[in-house]
Amino acid sequence: MWDYTDKVKEYFLHPKNVGVIENADAVGDVGSITCGDALKLMLKVEDGTEKIIDAKFQTFGCGSAIASSSALTEMIIGKTVKEAEKITNQDIADYLGGLPKEKMHCSVMGREALEAAIANYRGIDLEQLKEDEGPLVCQCFGIHEKFIEKVVMENSLKTVEEVTNYTKAGGGCQSCHPAIEDIIEKVWKEKGQYLHVREETPRHKPAMTNLQKITLITETIDKEIRPNLVQDGGDIELIDIVGNEVFIALRGQCASCTSAAYTTTSIEDKLREMVAPDIVVHLESD
Amino acid sequence: MNKVIYMDNNATTKVDEEVFEEMKPYFTGLYGNPSSMHTFGGQVGKKIDEARERVARLIGAKYSTEIIFTSCGTESDSTAVFSALQAYPDRKEIITTRAEHPAIMSLVPHLEKQGIAVIQLKVDKYGNLDLNEYGRYLNEDTALVTVMTANNETGVIFPVEKMAQMAKEKGVLFHTDAVQAAGKVPINMNDSAVDMLSISGHKLHAPKGVGALYLRRGSRFRPFLKGGHQERNRRAGTENVTSIIGLGKAAEIAQAHIDEENTVVKEMRDRLEEEILKRVPRTILNGDKKNRLPNTTNISFEFIEGEGILLLLNELGIAASSGSACTSGSLEPSHVLRAMGVPFTAAHGSIRFSLSRYNTMEEADYVIENLPPVIERLRSISPYWKDGRPTLEFEPQFN
């Protein structure tokens, strides 16, 4: 069961501003039945002041989609179109006391509907907007590049999982994950940060002298492996290195740990990654 | 919320009072290890043997030693699959279906990585298999066929006996996940070609955390968990004594009540289903109306989303489940409904009611009375619905 806040529950069970505005000044339709949620946002805007004097919605979707839509209408009534334009998806989530991370896309849908409605109010051709969406990235949910870029930028997203939670992109067949990784890296690069989202390939070092190898193994144990074990009240002792065979003993909590075999495997994985792919670790027992 | 109308018995079931009573002495009193040499432990071993016999009787096994206790249905499934692959290392194919439980489905990418070709048989719109297609895939490279007895989402029953016969003729091992079927429909392994069969305790009024794997005497087998000599070296690890005793008792009770499932429970299910389909427009029954478990109904309510339905039912004290994307945390609706080709307009709004002998006709009537307003309320919010019918006016440009 989702851990919804009381406010989300309240806005789902007793949503405000459900319905239709006949002759609305602005309409924003987003989503699709295939993807599992859709929202129709309708606005009444006062002439001259451009103040939103009424907002209503209809939503097809889960509890948090309905709650987000209702919250959005409450947030924008009384604001001018210009003021409303500044509302972000995070603002909608915050208004509800937060949303489960897997449900953030509900707040993004609200924000999208608002954008579409404002574009409609200003007489901007939706077809034109669509052309600016960039290439299609996620086939399963029909999500385009520009949209993902924007959401990554606005919400400082760093992983594919987060992008999926916010936009649904990548939540189906997963074949677009590399493309999403590229987008994340591109956005952060523009922000001046170099992220490496994709898992790095193991750094296989070129042939080393025995001395270099021993030094690297000792370093890896000291810097990468021991700190983790010490955290769990254990320790590791390097006993000997013969060719590619590394003999170790586990101390402290680790010595009696029932998952010693698992620990050995993960130590071996680490050494294979950092030193050489053919390292074999032997666990010495006292 | 005081009383819950629990109609989610394919998810888990209430532990039967008698089952609980049977288990109680083995927590603080008779806590010995069944493997011990002393009487204090040995008597527990005898009680486990009794449980083994009870489970064997429920599924009509000829020998009680054909029952291996495990920790759950998933463990039983994994044991069967990996045992077959290890026992027949030269065979590199597995046949299964597109409607299996995640316990089998999730193994597919893992097996494929190991170079095993996994054939997933198609299902038609009623959830039934094409046995001709199956027959074409069976060959001497097949290490195992694993096909569920009854589907957890729709209740649809697969013709496992016929399929097992076909596998036997080709000398291929056959496993079935009977987690949903055991205790609801009769199973008789003594007169069957099935080699391995999984069951789970908590689906038949025993506690969670215990399952069993039936392994036909003489079948090739490799243990999944290695260690001690428990379960005749076929499943290491000190026995979950109390739960195994509970499973034994639950099996005995299930066997005594099996007719009730097909009369009393079925009658409640049928009434619930018929009335809902009659009272609510634009509904679709998912699955094969005739060929399915007596306790399960899976109904799609078009143009609304399942999570909303569940949350409103929850407010009324009704517990059910949904195949919608939003309830699973994934973004796509149930793989079973998609495999059946249920349209997205319906898949997102699917609700499963799964009953047990603890439900009453009054409860069914309560759901019948209270469900239609819930559906109406959500449809009144939906942009795909207008004046009591679907509307095509809403077609967003952005998605």
Residue A256 has pLDDT above 90, yes or no: no
Q: Is residue B223 part of a domain?
A: yes
Angle at B108 between CA B97 and CA B150, to 5 degrees: 30
CA B281 vs CA A239, B252, B275, B290, B300: distances in Å: 75, 42, 11, 22, 11
Q: Which segments of chain A does DSSP mark as H helices, in order?
A: 6-13, 63-76, 81-85, 89-95, 104-121, 126-131, 145-155, 160-167, 177-190, 210-220, 226-231, 253-256, 260-274
B382 neighbourhood in chain A, CB within 8 Å: 58-60
B344 touches chain A (CB under 8 A): yes
Nearest CB partner across the interface for B382, out of A34, A60, A103: A60
The answer to the question of residue B126 being in a domain is yes
Query: Under CATH, what is the fold of the domain A133-190?
Result: Arc Repressor Mutant, subunit A (1.10.10)
Residues B238, B149, single domain; the answer is yes
Q: Which residues of B touch A161 (CB under 8 A)?
A: none
Mean pLDDT of chain A: 87
Name the pairing type of β-strands B142-146 and B93-97: parallel
* Contacting residues of A for B331, CB less than 8 Å apart: 35-36, 141, 164, 168, 171-172
Share of chain B above pLDDT 70, in %: 98
Which chain B residue is nearest to residue A144, measuring alpha carbons? B399
Contact assignment for B308 to A12 by CB distance below 8 Å = yes
Same domain, B228 and B79: yes
| Residue B21: CB atoms within 10 Å | 11
Across A117-121, average pLDDT: 95
B309 with B249, same domain? no
Mean pLDDT across B155-173: 97
Inter-chain CB proximity B397 and A127 less than 8 Å? yes
Q: How far apart are CA B40 and CA B29, in angstroms?
A: 10
CA distance A113 to chain B (A): 9
Helix then strand then coil, in percent of chain B rounded to 5, is 45, 15, 40
One domain for residues B282 and B235: no
For the record, the structure tokens of B215 come out as 């392994």
CA neighbours closer than 13 Å in the CB half-sphere of residue A85 = 11
Facing A15 at nearest CB: one of B329, B348, B381: B381
Specify the CATH number for the domain of residue B269: 3.90.1150.10
Interval A30-41: pLDDT, tens:
998 888 899 999
Write down the pLDDT at residue A204: 47
Which residue numbers of A have CB closer than 8 Å to B's CBs? Answer: 9, 12-13, 15, 18, 29-40, 58-63, 65-66, 102-103, 112, 116, 126-127, 130, 140-142, 164, 168, 171-172
A125-to-A28, A81, A179, B54 alpha-carbon distances in Å: 12, 18, 28, 71
Please tell me the total count of domains within chain B: 2
Q: Where are the domains of chain A?
A: 6-125, 133-190, 210-283
Helices (H) and strands (E) in chain B, counts: 16, 15
User: The CATH number of the domain where B68 resides is what?
Assistant: 3.40.640.10
Residue A223: how many other CB atoms lie within 10 Å? 10
Chain A residues lying within 8 Å of B380, measured CB to CB: 18
* Class in CATH terms, A210-283: alpha beta
CB A246 within 8 A of CB A280: yes
Same-domain pairing of B160 and B235: yes
Separation of CA B70 from chain center: 16
Q: What is the dihedral of CA A137, A29, B385, B337, to 10 degrees?
A: 10
Q: Do the domain assignments include residue B352? A: yes
For residue B128, the tally of other CB atoms under 10 A from its CB is 18
Same-domain status, B157 and B299: no
Q: Give A199's pLDDT tier (boundaries 50, 70, 90).
A: low
Q: Are residues B66 and B203 in the same domain?
A: yes
For tokens 């009730």, what's the residue?
Answer: B260
Judged by average pLDDT, the poorest of A134-143, B10-19, B222-231, B237-246 is: A134-143
Order of all β-strands in the sheet with B211-215: B67-70, B211-215, B196-200, B173-177, B142-146, B93-97, B117-121
Residue B386 domain-assigned (yes or no)? no
Query: Which candidate in A20, A37, A41, A60 is best for mutational testing of the B interface (most B CBs within 10 A)?
Result: A60
Q: Burial-class residue A76 by CB neighbours within 10 Å (0-12, 13-18, 19+).
A: buried
Residue A49 reports pLDDT greater than 90:
yes
Give the angle B381-A28-B328 at the CA atoms, nearest 5°.
Answer: 50
Residue A198 predicted with pLDDT over 70 = no
- pLDDT for B147 beyond 50: yes
Cα of B286 vs its chain's centroid, Å: 16
Q: What pLDDT is recorded for position A203?
A: 46
Asked if residue B289 and residue B167 are part of one domain, the reply reads no
Q: Per the structure block, which two tokens stand in for B212?
A: 């069993």
Whether residues B113 and B176 fall in one domain = yes
| Cα distance between residue A148 and residue A143, in whole Å | 7
| Residue B393 belongs to a domain | no
Q: Is B297 helix (H, G, I), strand (E, B) or coil?
A: strand
Nearest CA in chain A to B378: A60
pLDDT band at A231 (very low <50, low <70, confident <90, very high): confident
Residues of chain A with Cβ-Cβ distance to B330 below 8 Å are: 171
pLDDT > 90: percent of chain B: 92
Region B357-365 average pLDDT: 97
Distance, CA of B188 to chain centre: 18
Residue B399 in this model has a pLDDT that exceeds 60: no
CA distances from B170 to A206, B14, B141, B216 (A): 52, 41, 10, 17
Residue B278 pLDDT greater than 90, yes or no: yes
Q: What is the pLDDT of residues B24-78, one digit of tens each?
A: 999 999 999 999 999 999 999 999 999 999 999 999 999 999 999 999 999 999 9
Residue range A6-125 forms a domain whose CATH class is alpha beta
For residue B94, pLDDT beyond 50? yes
The string of pLDDT tens digits covering residues A149-171 is: 999 999 999 999 999 999 989 98
Same domain, B60 and B73: yes
Q: Shortest CA distance to B215 belongs to which of B93, B61, B95, B97?
A: B61
Q: Same domain for B145 and B281?
A: no
Residue A61 is nearest to which of B305, B327, B399, comparing CB atoms? B305
Domain boundary among B254, B286, B301: B254
Please tell me which residue of chain B has the smallest CA distance to A29: B396
Confidence of residue A250 (pLDDT cuts 50, 70, 90): confident
Evaluate if residue A229 carries a pLDDT over 50: yes
d(CA B9, CA B7): 6
Residues of B tagged active-site: 326
Question: What is the per-residue pLDDT for B115?
Answer: 93
Going by pLDDT thresholds of 50, 70 and 90, the confidence category of residue B265 is very high
pLDDT at B356 over 90: yes
CB contact under 8 Å between A36 and B325, yes or no, is yes
Q: Are residues B185 and B227 in the same domain?
A: yes
Overall size of chain A counted in residues = 286
Residue listed under structure tokens 């959500």: B378
**For B292-308, how does the pLDDT look when each residue is reduced to its tens digit (9 = 90+)?**
999 999 999 999 999 99
Domain that holds residue B71: 17-254
Instruction: Tell me how many residue pairs between chain A and chain B have CB atoms under 8 A apart.
Output: 105
Question: B355: closest CA among B295, B310, B313?
Answer: B295
> Is B394 part of any domain?
no
Phi and psi dihedrals of B329, rounded to 5? 90, -15
Cβ within 8 Å, pair A29-B304: no
Tell me if chain A has a CB within 8 Å of the CB of B326.
Answer: yes
Does residue B38 belong to any structural domain of this protein? yes
Q: Which of residues 62-81 of B touch A (CB under 8 A)?
A: none
pLDDT tens for B109-118 read 999 999 999 9
Q: How confident is the model at residue A201 (pLDDT cuts 50, 70, 90)?
A: very low
Q: Do B397 and A130 lie within an 8 Å CB cutoff? A: yes
Evaluate whether residue B397 is within a structural domain.
no
- Structure confidence at residue A210 as a pLDDT band (50, 70, 90): confident
Contact call for residues B287 and B308 (beta carbons, < 8 A): no
Model confidence band, residue B316 (pLDDT cutoffs 50, 70, 90): very high
Residue A70 to residue A92: CA distance in whole angstroms: 10
Cα–Cα distance between A165 and A158 in angstroms, integer?
Answer: 12
How close A59 comes to chain B (CA, Å)? 5
Over residues B277-290, mean pLDDT: 96
Inter-chain CB proximity B326 and A39 less than 8 Å:
no
Residues from chain B contacting residue A11 (CB–CB below 8 Å)? none
Top mean pLDDT of A64-68, A217-221, B344-348 is at: A64-68
Q: What is the mean pLDDT of chain B?
A: 95
| B399 interface with A at CB cutoff 8 Å | yes
